[in-house]
């Protein structure tokens, strides 16, 4: 009664909002699409959406099936990728370069379930490569690079993974968080009298400089450096300075949730991470690489 094609149809309907665009996306005629949906509704004895609404409004029954489609179809796609891997052989190499310190917070927990799924893939994370990761990818010394610095290159493909907000963390009772100065967001000039605690990488790799301070030709009063996120937060807690970290990371640090945070700029300071691969590798046709990219997207979407 209920087939995969029905789930794909409902998922596509939700994305496009009307029958005409859905039929085009599914390479069907509108009449064939309408017939398929009517057959399904007749077999269920339920309406799935209101046809005269723009965009289409799903009924409770339609929403239930749409939820099922959104759960099943990604799992089906992942399984199909894995079956392709069986057909072409599961053995391979996945050497990963990482251009951000905070990535390790979510990257390392992914490795165990991934390695269980792909036991014959040799996974390795290269040491800190700073500006050498993407050049190493071009030379096929790496298979995948996690970066926030995409650029146009015929030999590279950049697949967006997820976007996140960067917030400034302040010591308790800091002047920028007092009742007399309790503004909802900070301007670049607010940091010129602060000590900024950063990871030890070049400033053009740090969004707090690249997007927030440098465009205004501003700098903090001083900078301090540490490799460790926990030490960075400990220094802030001790009143040694302020730091800028991803909101998703701060939300996981229970021991430091008492520290006040501020948005950077009226609309926040945002960054996007990308999975960079070599076009010659064709990650989309290499199931174990594409599966790793999909796992990152799924994990960070939750």
Q: What is the CATH number of the domain that holds 131?
A: 3.40.190.10
Q: With contact defined as beta carbons under 8 Å apart, do 267 and 190 qualify?
A: no
Q: Which conformational region is residue 262 in: left (phi greater than 0), alpha (psi within -120 to 50 degrees), or beta? A: beta
Q: Are residues 141 and 181 in the same domain?
A: no
Q: Reply yes or no: is the peptide bond before residue 55 cis, omega within 30 of 0.
A: yes
Q: Are residues 50 and 195 in the same domain?
A: no
Q: Are residues 149 and 289 in the same domain?
A: yes
Q: Are residues 131 and 276 in the same domain?
A: yes
How would you label 135-153 residue by residue, b for 16+ Cβ within 10 Å and e otherwise?
A: eebbeeebbbbbbbbbeee
Output the DSSP codes for 225-248: E-S-HHHHHHHHHTTS-EEEEEHH
Q: Are residues 44 and 58 in the same domain?
A: yes
Q: Are residues 63 and 97 in the same domain?
A: no
Q: Of 253, 254, 234, nearest to 243 (Cα)? A: 234
Residue 184, pLDDT > 90, answer no
Q: With contact defined as beta carbons under 8 Å apart, do 68 and 7 qualify?
A: yes
Q: Are residues 48 and 168 in the same domain?
A: no
| pLDDT interval class at 70 (50, 70, 90) | very high
| pLDDT interval class at 266 (50, 70, 90) | very high
Task: Tell which of 84, 119, 154 closes a domain.
Answer: 84
Q: Are residues 191 and 262 in the same domain?
A: yes
Q: Are residues 63 and 105 in the same domain?
A: no
Pairing of strands 195-198, 242-246: parallel
Q: Are residues 126 and 189 in the same domain?
A: no
| pLDDT interval class at 179 (50, 70, 90) | low
Task: Tell which of 84, 99, 118 closes a domain.
Answer: 84
pLDDT given at position 1: 77
Q: Of 257, 268, 262, nearest to 190 (Cα)? A: 262
Percent of the chain with pLDDT over 90: 60
Structural domains in the chain (count): 3
Q: Are residues 152 and 297 in the same domain?
A: yes
Please name the helix (run of DSSP H) or strand (run of DSSP E) that holds residue 114, with its range, or none.
helix 104-117
Q: Are residues 176 and 187 in the same domain?
A: yes
Residue 38, pLDDT > 80, answer yes
Q: Read off the CATH number of the domain in which 58 is found.
A: 1.10.10.10
Question: Model pTM?
Answer: 0.66
Task: Tell which of 63, 84, 105 closes a domain.
Answer: 84
Residues 6 or more apart whose Cβ sits within 8 Å of residue 190: 176
Domain coverage including residue 134 = 91-162+272-301
- Residues 274-298: tens digit of each pLDDT: 999 998 876 666 888 989 999 999 8
Please state, in angstroms and as integers, the Cα–Cα distance from residue 294 to each residue in 1, 84, 118, 204, following that order.
30, 15, 14, 28
Q: With contact defined as beta carbons under 8 Å apart, do 101 and 229 qualify?
A: yes
């Amino acid at each position: 009664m209920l087939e995969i094609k029905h789930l794909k149809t409902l998922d596509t309907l939700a994305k496009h909002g009307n029958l005409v665009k859905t039929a085009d996306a599914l390479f069907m005629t509108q009449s064939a699409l309408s017939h398929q949906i009517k057959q399904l509704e007749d077999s269920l004895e339920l309406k799935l959406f209101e046809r005269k609404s723009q965009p289409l409004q799903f009924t409770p029954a339609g929403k239930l099936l749409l939820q099922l489609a959104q759960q099943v179809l990604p799992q089906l796609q992942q399984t199909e990728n894995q079956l392709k891997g069986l057909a072409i052989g599961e053995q391979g190499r996945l050497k990963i370069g990482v251009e951000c310190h905070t990535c390790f917070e979510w990257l390392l927990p992914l490795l165990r379930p991934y390695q269980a799924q792909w036991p014959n893939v040799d996974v390795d994370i290269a040491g800190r490569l700073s500006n050498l990761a993407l050049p190493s990818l071009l030379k096929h010394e790496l298979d995948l690079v996690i970066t926030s610095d995409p650029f146009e290159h015929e030999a590279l493909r950049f697949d967006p993974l997820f976007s996140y907000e960067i917030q400034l963390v302040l010591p308790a009772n800091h002047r920028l968080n007092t009742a007399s100065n309790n503004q909802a967001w900070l301007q670049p000039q607010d940091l010129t009298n602060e000590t900024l605690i950063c990871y030890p990488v070049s400033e053009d790799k740090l969004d707090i400089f690249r997007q927030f301070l440098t465009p205004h030709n501003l700098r903090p009063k001083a900078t301090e450096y540490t490799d460790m996120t926990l030490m960075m937060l400990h220094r802030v807690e001790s009143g040694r300075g302020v730091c800028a970290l991803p909101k998703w990371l701060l939300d996981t640090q229970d021991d430091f949730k008492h520290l006040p945070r501020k948005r950077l700029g009226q609309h926040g300071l945002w960054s996007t991470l990308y999975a960079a691969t070599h076009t010659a590798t064709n990650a989309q046709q290499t199931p174990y690489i594409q599966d790793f990219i999909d796992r990152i997207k799924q994990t960070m979407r939750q």
